[in-house]
Amino acid sequence: MRRPGRKTTCLAFRAMASLTILTIFLLYICFSGVTALPFFLKEPDFSQYIKTTTLDIPSVDRPTRILFVGDIHGQFDDLQNLLRKANYDPSAGDILVHTGDIITRGAPDGSKKVLDWLAEHHVYGVRGNNDQAVIDWKGWRDWISSTPAGRTWLRSLDREWERDNGKASARGLNPDSWVKERRKNAPRKFRAWWRRVPDDWKMFREHYLTAA
């Protein structure tokens, strides 16, 4: 009986290796789902732009004031002081309109207080460039977190930042240097997720932290 030639043995080995890889891949899909793999994710519209619209300010039957305020930048207390000086009174028919950049530059907690107050009081307004950057990051975070593997990576990264930033000096960490180091030394299982971060976006800066 003739022994199989080297070529035949090589082909059989390749077939066996291919079958093994395919089996592992299919098992991963069965247990984790298709969307657990980064390359199956389709980027959504992070910007969520509304190209053109008209502010639907209600008509009033009595004299009223329309007050405009801009560049609040998360300064909640300053906003309240300004409105008190202007005698802002929505019960008297006053209408408040913000002209953008209502968040960031201050502490993230301040930005969230401003957002909550504006939503609670049904304030009208438009997006500023800083507002848009936060919307972009929020859309990106929601997209990454839509899969178990992406959510695990993002939570792990956020915890590491909080830990390392808490150990740093009063000035805190440099987020760009920290992100660069984490990306360089990322475990193999997380490298594909790092590639999903847009090149010109800055993680762990004020826009990212406000969106978190």
DSSP string covering 17-31:
HHHHHHHHHHHHHHH
Q: Which residues are CB-neighbours of 209 under 8 A, at least 6 positions away? A: 108
Token pair 């035949």: residue: 8
Tens digit of pLDDT at every position of the chain (212 positions): 555 555 566 666 677 777 777 677 566 555 544 444 555 556 777 776 666 666 666 666 666 788 999 999 999 999 999 999 999 998 888 889 999 999 887 777 888 899 999 999 888 888 899 999 999 999 999 999 988 889 999 999 999 999 998 776 556 789 999 999 999 999 988 988 999 999 889 999 989 988 88
pLDDT of residue 41: 59
Under DSSP, is residue 56 helix (H, G, I), strand (E, B) or coil? coil
* 137: β partners: none
Tokens of 39: 């390359």
Residue where the block lists tokens 């329309």: 66
pLDDT at 18: 72
pLDDT at 204: 93
**DSSP conformational letter for 85:** H
Domain boundaries, the chain: 35-47+135-211, 66-125
In angstroms, the CA 104 to CA 37 distance is 33
Using a CB cutoff of 8 Å and minimum separation of 24, what contacts does 87-96 make?
A: 90/121, 92/64, 93/60, 93/62, 93/63, 93/64, 93/65, 94/64, 94/65, 94/66, 94/67, 95/57, 95/64, 95/65, 95/66, 95/67, 95/124, 96/67, 96/69, 96/121, 96/123, 96/124
What pTM was estimated for this model as a whole? 0.71
